[in-house]
């Protein structure tokens, strides 16, 4: 019975409940009768320490910010692993757990999980990101660090008794690179819960078309391409009716703000920073068009972008480059801007929707219906619970 099983979830990349996927998983497991404990880093409004949220025990540890390239990342990972190991043993001594559920990045949490596997716990690997592909995307090359990342990924797969993949591309990697049998891999997508993720009433500016972006601002996310597309709209196409709202943050934000000034579009762009909860929904409810500027690449082709599902959940039509998993998620709810990562083609796709309100409404409806019928969390939670039934049988 699930009630006899204690699950320890370890996530290093984001704190809960800010990490929506991990928090939905934790609540689904708790709702099915499992006892759930989470180890995660601190967040903007959470200090290190222990707290209980909705019956789920959360242990937060400090997270050293990575600075100074590879050495900075090594220091961050070493510090985080030390904290995670310490807290995992603390939880084990207090109440033994039966499953360790580790979430990448990085692909190093197998080091925390392995001793408990040797003591009889089962290990679930929740595959959130493709570290090796991301390295190539960022630095444009392979090399010793790339192969170390491949080795860490391989060891993570080897330690895992079951792999939870965010999409079919990740599942294929688990089977091929991770050498997992098909029955050891379960696809659990990251769709939001529509009961709580809904549009709200906001003031609108007549005659304005608001473009929206939600997500991280890093090199691989293509926000620079989006800014260049807006510059093309404003300066070359004379579109004074277009405004861009950027929700999120990341290592490239200052550089992107400088680029907006260089392109002379700072008056048409709002950088809102991170938003969560009601603030996020209010910001997104102003969007007429959701933009996914992530460029076509081997890495992005394999990733399911959370913003795609979030736009669709709110009935927002979207524009994106023709990414494999992006098309698999959005289907006919998007206008596709080709595969050459050209800002002008992204701008042309935006104009298609900006000048056709009826089509915007139709595509928004299609996206919302796809979420309701197939992709939202209530359709994904049963897959998670089935995987756990296999793991704890």
pTM value is 0.90
Half-sphere exposure (CA, 13 Å, Cβ side) for 203?
1
pLDDT digits (tens, 9 = 90+) for 215-254: 989 888 999 999 999 999 999 999 999 999 999 998 899 9
CA dihedral of residues 103, 107, 113, 114 (deg, nearest 10): 150
Annotate 337-357 with DSSP letters as a single string: --SS--HHHHHHHHHHHHT-H
> Quick one: pLDDT at residue 251?
85
- Measure Cα distances from 138 to 90, 300, 361 in Å: 37, 12, 36
What rounded mean pLDDT belongs to the chain?
A: 94
* 255 contacts 271 by C-beta, under 8 angstroms: no
Q: What is the set of domains in the chain, with CATH numbers?
A: 2-191+376-392 (3.40.50.2000), 209-375 (3.40.50.2000)
The kind and range of the H/E element at 273 are strand 269-273
- The pLDDT, as a whole number, for residue 293 is 98
303-316 pLDDT tens trace: 999 999 999 999 99
DSSP state of 376: S
For the chain, 393 residues long, the average pLDDT of each consecutive 10-residue run is 84 90 97 97 82 96 70 80 97 97 96 98 97 90 92 98 97 97 97 92 91 92 97 96 95 95 97 91 97 96 95 98 96 97 98 97 98 96 97 92
Torsion of CA 358, 364, 366, 371, to 10 degrees: -170
Return the pLDDT at 250: 86
Predicted local distance difference test score (pLDDT) of residue 277: 86
């Amino acid at each position: 019975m699930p009630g006899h099983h204690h699950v320890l979830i370890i996530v290093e990349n984001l704190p809960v409940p800010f990490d929506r996927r991990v928090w939905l998983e934790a609540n689904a497991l708790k709702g099915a009768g499992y006892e759930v404990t989470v180890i995660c880093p601190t967040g903007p409004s959470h200090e290190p320490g222990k707290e209980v949220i909705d019956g789920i025990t959360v242990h937060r540890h400090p997270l050293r910010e990575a600075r100074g390239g590879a050495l900075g990342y090594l220091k961050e990972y070493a510090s985080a692993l030390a904290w995670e190991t310490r807290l995992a043993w603390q939880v084990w001594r207090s109440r033994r757990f039966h499953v360790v559920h580790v979430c990448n990045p990085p692909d190093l949490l197998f080091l925390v999980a392995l001793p408990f596997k040797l003591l009889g716990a089962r290990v679930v690997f929740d595959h959130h990101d493709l570290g090796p592909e991301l390295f190539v995307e960022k630095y444009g090359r392979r090399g010793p660090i790339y192969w170390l990342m491949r080795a860490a990924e391989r060891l993570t797969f080897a330690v895992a008794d079951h792999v939870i993949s965010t999409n079919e591309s990740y599942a294929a990697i688990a089977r091929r690179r991770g050498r997992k049998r098909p029955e050891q891999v379960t696809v659990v997508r990251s769709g939001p819960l529509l009961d709580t993720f809904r549009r709200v009433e906001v003031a609108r500016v007549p005659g304005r078309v608001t473009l929206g972006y939600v997500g991280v601002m890093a090199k691989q996310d293509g926000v620079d391409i989006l800014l260049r597309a807006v510059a093309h709209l404003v300066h070359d196409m004379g579109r004074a009716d277009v405004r861009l709202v950027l929700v999120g943050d990341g290592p490239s934000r200052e550089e992107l703000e400088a680029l907006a000034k260089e392109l002379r579009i700072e008056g048409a762009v709002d950088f809102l920073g991170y938003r969560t909860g009601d603030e996020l929904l209010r910001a997104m409810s102003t969007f007429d068009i959701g933009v996914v500027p992530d460029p076509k690449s081997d890495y992005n082709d394999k990733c399911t972008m959370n913003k795609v599902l979030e736009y669709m959940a709110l009935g927002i039509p979207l524009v994106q480059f023709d990414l494999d998993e992006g098309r698999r998620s959005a289907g006919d709810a998007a206008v596709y801007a080709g595969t050459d990562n050209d800002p002008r083609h992204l701008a042309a796709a935006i104009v298609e929707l900006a000048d056709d309100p009826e089509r915007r409404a139709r595509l928004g409806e299609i996206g919302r219906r796809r979420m309701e019928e197939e992709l939202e969390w209530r359709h994904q939670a049963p897959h998670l619970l089935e995987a756990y039934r296999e793991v704890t049988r």
